[in-house]
Amino acid sequence: MTKSKIYKISGVLVLIGFLAGGIWYWQLPNRHKAIVKSFLFEKTGIVNPNWKVENKLETYKMISPEFYIDGIYKSMEGPKASNYVQLSQDSTVLWLTGFQVKAINNKSLQPISKDFICHTNIDFNDVKYYSSFHLEKRIGTQYPRLTSLSHGMENFNFPKGYGVPMKGNELLYVTTESLNHNLPDANFWIRHEVDINYSKEKNLKPLMSRTAFIMLPYDKYDPYKQPTDPGTNQCIPVETKNHSYDDGKGNKLSGHWVIPVGKNTYRSEVNNQLQIQDSLRLHAAAIHVHPFATQIALYDKTAKKAVFTSKIVNHIGKAGLTSIAPFSSEAGIWLYKNHDYEIVLDVNNTTTVSQDMMGSMFLFFYDKELDELLQKN
């Protein structure tokens, strides 16, 4: 075989490879396209994957790598980056007191619209965390997510006198993701600045986190069939691979579902997620919802009243959340083992097409057991 023939065959194979790769890429959902682009940007040196970090005055500040915004990215679709956080070099107990995320210009690092913030997750290693406080029985009982900031609630602080304790040399894992609901012709770069506030005081009261969220049943045999039967309380899941759960009886539940045009109310029992053994005193809550949510409440079905209600303000004339009211209380509110609780979410889809929705709460309770252990040390 001549060299020219080898070159021709090689050229054809390369062309076929490019075509096949292009077809594969364009069939990917937005979320996976963003992952592919971010990977290529890092490998080709277009984006520096390193974070800028500064730790002083009891604030751990991180600036993410650049995110390329080149079209619409709905919730959980945009470019994202992750980083490990270590607040100090020794095992001294520090207290997490607040969190903040800002979208910033990629060059000047000045703040820009909050509409480019999807969410910022703060996770911890529950094996190391609970073992360090001799609370091994808690390992694996909850998903190890401490909290999450998101569009509409870009900062969150615990009430005065309270915090989440952790050994300074343990690691947090922070993931921040970008968003763009309204600019289909976008073509620019941004970054995220994430701040974690902490205190070295020794007289704070410890909080523990419990995550509760709406899970709605769907037809596992035909999940996307519309319309759903109103009598079954079923939903249409956005997808069945992520945020899909089993109720222990073989039925499927989704924490990410589709809402039709107009006003609707969704509710979901959360007793199993709260895991109340006796009673718990709630002091704070961070909320995660999507645009077109108007109100979310933790509801005590036994007492027939809301534990708290978070009002949600949507943008006017475009998709997005202006604000989500957090819950914060120094006095706290008691929740009881013999009461039934649910999350109730009101939505108003003012567009002409279906939208996606979630309803989650990161609930912070006074941790009496941990407080007693800390007092002994």
In total, the chain counts a number of residues equal to 377
Helix segments in the chain, DSSP class H: 3-26, 30-43, 126-132, 271-274, 368-376
Give per-residue pLDDT as tens, 207-226: 999 999 999 999 999 999 88
Give me the DSSP letters along 141-153: SS-SEEEEEETTB
120, 175 contact by CB (below 8 A): yes
148, 213 contact by CB (below 8 A): no
In this prediction the pTM is 0.91
Q: 40-205 architecture in CATH? A: Sandwich (2.60)
Q: Which among 31, 33, 66, 41 has a CA at the least distance from the CA of 192?
A: 66
Topology of domain 210-376, CATH: Jelly Rolls (2.60.120)
For the chain, the domains span 3-33, 40-205, 210-376
Give the model's pLDDT for residue 230: 67
Give per-residue pLDDT as tens, 288-327: 999 999 999 999 999 999 999 999 999 999 999 999 999 9
Burial of 249 (0-12, 13-18, 19+ CB in 10 A): exposed
Candidate ranges 142-151, 229-238, 290-299; pick with highest mean pLDDT: 290-299
Q: Which among 113, 116, 87 has a CA at the least distance from the CA of 99?
A: 87
Least confident of 6-10, 33-37, 213-217, 352-356: 6-10
Give the model's pLDDT for residue 45: 87
Give the model's pLDDT for residue 241: 86
Are both 40-205 and 210-376 of the same fold? yes
Q: Which among 155, 156, 168 has a CA at the least distance from the CA of 58?
A: 168
First to last CA, the chain: 80
96, 85 contact by CB (below 8 A): no
